[in-house]
Amino acid sequence: MKKLLFVSFLLTGFFVFAQQTFVLNPAMVDPEDSENFEMLIKKYGQEMAKDAVKEGLIQGWALLKRVPGMGKVEDEKINFLWVVAYESPKKYVNRQSWFNTEKKYGIPGEILFGGIDVERYGSYVYKTEKRYDNNLQPKFIIFNWTFPKNLNSAMDLADKISSSFQKDMKKEGMASWGMATRIIPQDSDLAPLFFWDAYENMEQVIDHLMYKAAIKNVDQNLLSQLQNELPKGWHSRVVWEFVATSN
């Protein structure tokens, strides 16, 4: 239920959510520490995120774990990802610190997480352009990045395509779909257009990656037009598993 509430709040509804801003914070956790790391986040971090949502500091939060064995070995150095959503760019700009284990539990963070080797890889800020969701509970989510020839044209096509498969989402196990554009950083080597696809199980994820599942009935002419707008295809596609969510 927690994952469903997170997706419904973080990636929710059937209309353009033009003000929503979210941040991706990738990290590498030593595989030997990952089990303990997940336990601590679920026990302590999740509760602090709930408090932050109640206080209106954030709109939603999640920790995702990269599904291993689905990509190049060198890409798997980033194995965890935090997602934090804000109601608007203004909320993001005026954000306040809320992850304070000493204040809530009386245990300094450097002691609680001191034995865990975590290396962070920056913060990437996006604006939600459109998304659909329903009341399914997702376990996995695909993140997709791409370099379109023309950003506006690609978004217009994605808008038409998503409108056409929205009716098939629930029966195919697709809990959420969304499109976003990158705000920062503005580096030319980072893909400006981002999509997500959330599903109930891994079989559905694999079907989606083969252009089946919820997108199997999409007009092939629209897909051809989109492929023309994305001449190099997907810059990156990563499958994540939900570890913890709060909202």
pTM exceeds 0.85 for this model: yes
Amino acid identity, position 189: D
139-242 CATH? 3.30.70.100
Cα–Cα distance, 77 to 34 (Å, whole number)? 13
- Domain 2-124 is of which CATH architecture? 2-Layer Sandwich (3.30)
**What pLDDT was estimated at residue 247?**
62
Q: How far apart are the first and last CA of the chain?
A: 11
Stretch(es) of the chain classified as CATH 3.30.70.100: 2-124, 139-242
- Tell me the pLDDT tens digit for each residue of 28-68: 999 999 999 999 999 999 999 999 999 999 999 999 999 98
**What pLDDT was estimated at residue 78?**
93
Residue 123 has pLDDT above 70, yes or no: yes
For residue 102, give Cα distances in angstroms to 76, 105, 107, 139.
32, 5, 4, 31
- Tell me the pLDDT tens digit for each residue of 194-205: 999 999 999 999
Least confident of 4-8, 226-230, 241-245: 4-8
Short-list 143, 177, 145, 173, CA closest to 67: 143
Cα–Cα distance, 211 to 65 (Å, whole number)? 24
8-state DSSP, 215: G
Q: In this structure, are residues 98 and 48 in contact, taking their beta carbons and an 8 Å threshold?
A: yes
Short-list 74, 71, 89, 73, CA closest to 21: 89
Mean pLDDT score of the chain? 91
pLDDT band (50, 70, 90) for residue 98: very high
Residue 74 has pLDDT above 80, yes or no: no
